[in-house]
C-alpha cells in the first residue's frame, strides 16, 4: 500500500431499508462487538450511521490483511451475512487502505 503502511483499514458502506435500520444495527453491533472482543487482530470496529437516510458505514481496523482474512471466517460474520440481505437496499463499496495517522 505504500507510504509506510500502517494497520489495515476496511470501510464498508450499506444502504439500509429505512424501516429496518434498528434491525440492521442490532446485527451490525453484534458483529462489531464480537470482532473486537474475540479477534486478537481486530483493533477497532465502528458502526456509523450517516446523516443520509439509510446510510451506514463500517470502519474497521486490523493489524494486517491476514487478521482481516481471519475475520472473514468467523461465526459472527457468518451470522451478520445471513441476516443483512433482508435489511439492505444494496451493499455499497468496500474499500481497503492503511492507517498512516492515528
pTM: 0.91
Determine the average pLDDT of the residues in 89-99. Answer: 90
Q: Is the pLDDT score of 9 beyond 80?
A: yes
The Cα 67–Cα 70 span in angstroms is 5
Name residues whose C-beta falls within 8 Å of residue 63's C-beta, 6 or more positions apart in sequence.
7, 8, 40, 41, 43
Q: C-alpha 99: how far from its chain's center?
A: 15
CATH class held by domain 16-96: alpha beta
The Cα 57–Cα 77 span in angstroms is 16
Q: Check: CB of residue 99 under 8 Å from CB of residue 2.
A: no
**How do the domains of the chain map onto residue ranges?**
16-96
Amino acid at each position: 500500500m505504500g507510504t509506510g503502511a500502517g494497520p489495515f483499514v476496511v470501510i464498508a458502506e450499506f444502504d439500509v431499508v429505512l424501516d429496518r435500520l434498528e434491525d440492521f444495527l442490532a446485527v451490525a453491533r453484534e458483529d462489531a462487538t464480537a470482532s473486537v472482543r474475540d479477534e486478537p487482530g481486530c483493533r477497532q470496529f465502528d458502526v456509523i450511521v450517516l446523516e443520509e437516510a439509510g446510510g451506514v458505514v463500517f470502519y474497521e481496523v486490523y493489524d494486517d490483511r491476514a487478521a482481516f482474512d481471519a475475520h472473514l471466517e468467523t461465526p459472527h460474520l457468518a451470522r451478520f451475512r445471513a441476516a443483512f440481505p433482508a435489511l439492505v437496499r444494496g451493499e455499497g463499496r468496500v474499500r481497503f487502505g492503511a492507517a498512516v495517522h492515528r
